[in-house]
Chains A and B, each alone.
Chain A
């Protein structure tokens, strides 16, 4: 079991981008449908042009989560199941037609694209990690953020997770079709600012039906509702979060 603190959050999903809309969704959650058009006017124009949907969505969530000094100093974890998948599919189609690849597309298709864009935008030279873990990407990414906190010293860890809608022709192959979304959480070691959280990994699988929205969004719903415990299925069985002594909910 590990104790940490959640200081602030930012999130983007269809129709939801600020604290007011997220709190009213959390009070009466419903499946998320549609597209996102995140406001990324905070990015320099040159960088903005190179951002695909996932990059825009994740960086908008980061911008809503933390201020400039926090962005410049935090260690970071970017977790996405599919990454810049539309760009990857576009390149696979080019290859199938024996057409040349765009060098910009190629260098912006790597799984750590968003981590790289974040570090350039914020001038952040700290550790940045990127990962995927199928339908456990949020849970295993959160664990990676906890691992990074262990070597972060006096710094916070910015945990960002999200995905874009799967493009044709692979959309029909997925077992978890979700709308585009991103959630950013600013985490501190135990005793840091914000609300206290415990994370425990259990070997017993979590029971119950999966919610009709991504695990990261379920986590945010749980946090905003001030509920005591959240269990999400993931290897080794279940990830269990407990909120306690919450002084100032983020």
Chain B
């Protein structure tokens, strides 16, 4: 029997706000006001983006070599769980607290401005450092800012990054290499991803519209979600995870969702529960024609009796590697903020134009103000699928007897 894997604390910053008390009511209200039009990311094009709401904390001068928007997002999330991290360091010692914080963009936006300056002056600015651009710079920064001295790494598997980071944290705990792990992911808006997804014709000219007959692409977002993961047996648990590779194509998913189905089934098996016990599924739901077609088909095969589900990307955009951690964070909020004696779940709505696509498998999409009576133990699932055919599904919920 595996020991507990508690998602003990959560810090989050995204288009819905900085901090859980800002994010939760907007998540339930289906607040899309965080999606904004910008013309500074793709030359000559105005598009929709979901930037992190509000201001971000500045990095202290001693962290100048890490200074970039991505690490500011990380710091915003870290500050929210600082007390829990400090308590873990006090209880276990700094060297027993690990850091598994991933990214798919790191400080690209900072590097872009440095390369623009080089185009003008012939030199990269003196303030530019590789630590801003390196993926490993993120995990090193989080470790130093947190005072954590345990094993540290930055996973980067495109859009499955944040979900897979939590499974690495679980292994580090169960193998005894750490007693607590700061785990999650951070991604920031930048020209590289905006132009890259644009070149792949994956970006919608309108706010994203997942699972609709009219869907035509994603909306890019950004954000950070950091958990403190411990071995405690109570609270919201990471009950299981499933991972797979499509072995199909670098930038397109397997059309029938072979890898998606495999990782959802793997997550259920790992958690030791049946599909019918999942109370809510947070879809990957990017709004691209390919993702939604294959994901809906895979979900319909795994959840034969249906499952309430929603994509939250219409509210926060597709935060790429961070999305897996942010959406696990939304699932955590659903579980943590149950209401009433019997435990009523409030579910994030699926915000779209309501035009069902007859070509894809029908899903039970969550409507406005959805409440679900769900006696404990409750379990929910979240899906993440990325470039390179990298797939991950997580099951979060109450500990099972």
Q: Mark B103-121, 1 if CB is under 8 A from A, else 0.
A: 0100010011001101100
Contact of A120 among B134, B150, B156, B249 (CB under 8 A): B249
Residues of B within 8 A of A116 (CB): 245, 250, 387-390
A102 to B43, CA, bound (A): 15
Our pick among B199, B248, B262 for the contact of A100 (Cβ within 8 Å) is B199
A128 touches B245 (CB 8 A): yes
Kindly list the 6 A-B residue pairs having the minimum CB-CB distance in the complex, ordered from nearest: A116-B388, A106-B196, A147-B171, A111-B156, A236-B95, A134-B136
Min CB gap A174→B, angstroms: 6
Is residue A123 contacting chain B, with contact meaning CB distance below 8 A? Answer: yes
| A164 in the interface (beta carbon within 8 A) | no
Give min CB distance, B185 to chain A, whole Å.
12
Most chain B C-beta atoms within 10 Å of own C-beta, residue among A109, A151, A201, A235: A235
Contact B175 A129 (CB under 8 A): no
Which residues of chain B are within 8 angstroms of A30 by Cβ–Cβ distance?
none
Contacts of A126 in B (CB 8 A): 244-245
A57 contacts B by Cβ under 8 Å: no
Among B108, B134, B198, B200, point to the contact of A107 (Cβ < 8 A).
B200
B243 to chain A: which residues have CB within 8 Å? 127-128
Bound-state CA distance A97–B174 (Å) is 49
B136 contacts A95, C-beta separation under 8 Å: no
Q: How far is the CB of A72 from chain B (nearest CB, A)?
A: 9
Pair B175/A130 contact, Cβ less than 8 Å: no
- Asked if residues B177 and A111 are in contact (CB atoms below 8 Å), the reply is no
8 A–B contacts, CB within 8 A, in A order: A92-B111, A101-B195, A101-B198, A106-B199, A116-B250, A133-B154, A169-B124, A235-B149
Interface residues on B, range: 35 or more
Residues of B within 8 A of A56 (CB): none
Residues of chain A within 8 A of B247, CB atoms compared: 119-120, 122-125
Question: Hey, what's the 0/1 contact readout for B175-207 against A, CB within 8 Å counting as 1?
Answer: 101000000000000011001111110000000
Say yes or no: is B155 at the interface (Cβ < 8 Å to chain A).
Answer: yes
Alpha-carbon distance A117/B143, docked complex (angstroms)? 31
Q: Is the CB of A120 within 8 A of B115?
A: no
Neighbour of A147 across the interface among B128, B134, B143, B175, CB < 8 A = B175
A112 touches B158 (CB 8 A): yes
User: Which of B139, B158, B244 has a CB less than 8 Å from the CB of A110?
Assistant: B158
CA of A217 to CA of B317 in the docked complex: distance in angstroms?
42
Pick out which of these stretches binds chain B: A17-25, A32-40, A58-66, A136-144. A136-144
Contact A201 B151 (CB under 8 A): yes
Partner of A119, one of B95, B158, B246, B251: B246
Contacts of A113 in B (CB 8 A): 250, 388
A233: interface (CB < 8 Å): no
Bound together, the chains give a CA A108 to CA B387 distance in angstroms of 9
B177 near A100 with CB under 8 A, answer no
Closest to A126 in B: B245
Known: A116-B390, A174-B130. A140 touches B152 (CB 8 A): yes
Interface of A is mostly: mixed
Q: Is A82's CB under 8 angstroms from B244's CB?
A: no
B390 touches A144 (CB 8 A): no
User: Chain A residues with Cβ under 8 A from B177's Cβ?
Assistant: 143, 147, 201
- CB-CB under 8 A from B129, the residues of chain A are 173
- Would A117 and B135 be within 8 Å (CB), given that A91-B192, A103-B199, A110-B156 are in contact? no
Chain B residues in the interface with A (C-beta under 8 A): 43, 93, 95-96, 102, 104, 108, 111-112, 115-116, 118-119, 124, 128-131, 133-137, 139-140, 143, 149-158, 164, 168, 171-172, 174-175, 177, 191-192, 195-200, 243-251, 258-259, 262, 386-390
The answer, among A91, A97, A236, for a CB contact under 8 Å with B151, is: A236
Number of interface residues of A (CB under 8 A): 64
Determine whether A203 belongs to the interface, using a CB cutoff of 8 Å to chain B.
yes
Tell me whether A132 and B158 are in contact (CB under 8 A): no
B112 contacts which chain A residues (CB < 8 A)? 92, 95-96
Min CB gap B181→A, angstroms: 11
Chain B residue numbers with a CB within 8 Å of A235 are 95, 143, 149-152
Whether the Cβ atoms of A82 and B134 lie closer than 8 Å is yes
CB pair B195–A110 under 8 Å, yes or no, is no
Contact B168 A132 (CB under 8 A): no
B154 touches A127 (CB 8 A): no
Nearest B residue to A203, CB-CB: B95
| Shortest Cβ gap from A42 to chain B (Å) | 17
Say yes or no for A83: interface residue by CB 8 A criterion. yes
In whole angstroms, how far apart are the Cα atoms of A59 and B214 in the complex? 41
- B262–A91 contact, CB under 8 A? no
Q: Of A91, A125, A146, which contacts B259 at CB under 8 A?
A: A125
Task: Find A95's partner among B115, B131, B134 (CB 8 Å cutoff).
Answer: B115
Are the C-beta atoms of B139 and A125 separated by less than 8 Å? no
Knowing A95-B191, A111-B156, A133-B139, the reply to whether A147 touches B119 (Cβ < 8 A) is no
**Contact, CB under 8 Å: B245 / A119:** yes
Q: Which residues of B contact A140 (CB under 8 A)?
A: 151-153
A2 at the interface (CB under 8 A from B): yes
Q: State how many angstroms separate the Cβ of B49 from the closest Cβ of chain A.
A: 16
Chain B residues with Cβ under 8 A from A112's Cβ?
156-158, 386-388, 390
Given A115-B388, A119-B246, A144-B153, A98 and B43 contact (CB-CB distance below 8 Å):
yes
Whether B134 contacts A132 by the Cβ 8 Å rule is yes
**Please, which residues of chain A bring their CB within 8 A of the CB of B157?**
111-112, 115, 128-130
Most interface-central of A81, A91, A124 (chain B CB within 10 A): A91
Within 8 A of B (CB), among A225-245: 234-237
* From A88, A95, A101, residue with most partner B Cβ within 10 Å: A95
